[in-house]
Amino acid sequence: EPEVTQTPSHQVTQMGQEVILRCVPISNHLYFYWYRQILGQKVEFLVSFYNNEISEKSEIFDDQFSVERPDGSNFTLKIRSTKLEDSAMYFCASGGLAYEQYFGPGTRLTVT
């Protein structure tokens, strides 16, 4: 069964550094998403991406964040200058339809 994959599974970075989290969505899906879950808190929506552009973003998704689909298979989330409060589990999701979202295993980001 096709699945969403994410790399790395765990990323440790220093405050102020740039990180890129990578996702390979399910191959025929058209809708792509990033969510995050700070330890002990809810899973929160960050951004949705369709037709090579952002279709919606939350207030969390400020100028420090960007997304890209650099080729036909990858979908990346970049945090330009990480802060301690960016430490969280980041989930990528994809969907063939806008109302169905299939999640990857997540990348645990630790900012020190």
Partner 1 sequence: AQSVTQPDIHITVSEGASLELRCNYSYGATPYLFWYVQSPGQGLQLLLKYFSGDTLVQGIKGFEAEFKRSQSSFNLRKPSVHWSDAAEYFCAVGAFQGGSEKLVFGKGTKLTVNP
Question: Which residues make beta-bridge pairs with 50?
Answer: 31, 53
Q: Which stretch binds partner 1 (CB under 8 A): 3-11, 12-20, 64-72, 73-81?
A: 3-11
Q: Is residue 41 at the binding interface for partner 1, with CB under 8 A as the rule?
A: yes
Answer for which of 20, 80, 98, 112 binds partner 1 (CB under 8 A) is 98
**Shortest Å, Cβ 83 to partner 1:** 23
- Taking the least distance from each CB to partner 1, the nearer of 65 and 103 is 103
Instruction: Report DSSP state, residue 8.
Output: -
| Contacts with partner 1, 42-81, as mask; x by CB under 8 A | xxxx--x-x----xx-x-----------------------
By CB atoms closer than 10 A (0-12, 13-18, 19+), residue 85 is exposed
Round to whole Å and give the CA distance between 92 and 101.
Answer: 9
φ, ψ of residue 103 to 5 degrees: the values are -100, 150
